[in-house]
Amino acid sequence: MANGIVLGGSLRCRKSPTTSADVWGSFSNGTVLTVTNSSDDEWFQTTWNGSVGYVMKSFVAVAGDTVQVNATNVNVRNNPGTSGTTVLYQLDSPATAEVVSVDTDWVHIQPSGEEDGWISADYVDKSSGSSSGGGTGGDEGSGGDTGGGDDTTFQAGHFGRTTKTGVRVRLTPGSDDFVQVVKGSMFYIEGTVTGPTISGSTSTLWVKVRFGKGDGTYESRYIHSSCFGDTLTITNSVKTRIVAIAQTLVNNTGGNLGMGGDWCQRFIYWLCAASGMSASMPYSEGYCGQARLAMVNSYGAQWHQRGDGYIPSAGDLIYFGELNSNVSSHVGLVYQGGNSFKTVEGNLSDKVQLREGSVSAGECGDRSYQGFLRLNI
């Protein structure tokens, strides 16, 4: 017997080794389970509350398997856990490593050319080249027997998050017109439709989602149901929704979100359009300064220049540029307010990234900010 760890989201445990079999229940991502038999090409035998169960090999890593990093700047630590441990180094996608052992929510890895260490199970996926078979399979990311659900799972007005990195968000179900997003990206659900199956899944269910555009409009796109985890509801507030969505998009590039050029302001429009609510945020062709002025002059947004004593709140915008100027060079979204605040910003090295700032110091990240815009939405 060997221990394996679930990777790639919630994983169904079935009563026999076929996707048509009844389900005992689901193991959450990072769960360590005991593999009692590994002779089947596609399934591991395990136990569920004392009964025999089966899980797809594609989503369980055991010692000797290969895992692939699915994000950037992922910490590798000297021991499992974040408290009292030391960061040894960082790895970026698509780095790979051999599994040495597993612990709940953590994988002990041996990358080539580095010392061994521990990495969070949230940031690695099982590689298709693994010795135990299976592999991630399919080009949709999650695939296999993770995620899924029926059309009652994905109710209109709820939000869903992708369970694997590289999930394809398609213009139509099964189409070759798509963008790919990182694991955990959140989308507003408009409903479900039927369409073609994908590799690793027999489901014909596709989820229709709202995909923002850089001009403040949106288009409907489609994600296969096996690529979504549990859904949730978010209060009917544009600010609350854009703050929640923005934090899940960290490490997506402009291309992942369908935007190019200087897209920091477009990212804000994208979020409002993707929120599932009508937002009074005018689109202004051009750069951040024009957009800021339009929101103040036409929609009643309140401008607070650096130094006026204003303490930002979640949902405010932060602008960068010279004081007493109508020109701004960059914009981000405050997701945690206070004298010490936190932001999520688009187009930082062509990615969505997080930064921290201080009102007392008048800085965010490594630069002085211009001021905050309190939105009237």
The pTM assigned to this predicted structure is 0.65
Written as six digits, the tokens of 107 are 């994988």
Q: 353 pairs with which residues across the strands?
A: 345
Question: pLDDT tens, position by position, for the chain (377 residues)?
Answer: 799 999 877 788 999 998 888 888 888 888 999 999 999 988 999 999 899 999 989 889 999 999 988 777 788 999 998 888 999 999 987 889 999 999 999 999 999 989 999 999 888 888 765 666 554 333 233 333 444 455 557 889 999 888 877 899 999 999 999 999 988 899 999 999 999 988 767 889 999 999 999 888 899 999 999 888 767 888 888 899 999 999 999 999 999 999 988 899 999 999 999 998 876 565 665 578 888 888 888 778 899 999 999 999 999 999 999 999 989 999 999 999 999 999 999 999 999 999 999 999 999 998 999 999 998 87
User: Domain 1-136's class?
Assistant: mainly beta
Which class would CATH give 264-374? Answer: alpha beta
> For position 135, what pLDDT does the model report?
43
CA 356 from chain centre, in angstroms, equals 20
CA distance 87 to 75: 6
Decide if 49 contacts 182 (C-beta within 8 A).
no
Helices (runs of H) and strands (runs of E) counted in the chain: 3, 29
Of 356, 321, 309, the closest CA to residue 335 belongs to 356
Cβ–Cβ under 8 Å, residues 311 and 338: yes
The strand pairing partners of 342, in sequence order, are 336, 356
* The one-letter amino acid at 80: P
How far separated are the first and last CA of the chain, in Å rounded? 57
For residue 92 the two structure tokens come to 């970026």
Rg (CA), the chain: 22
Report yes or no: 141 and 162 within 8 Å, Cβ to Cβ.
yes
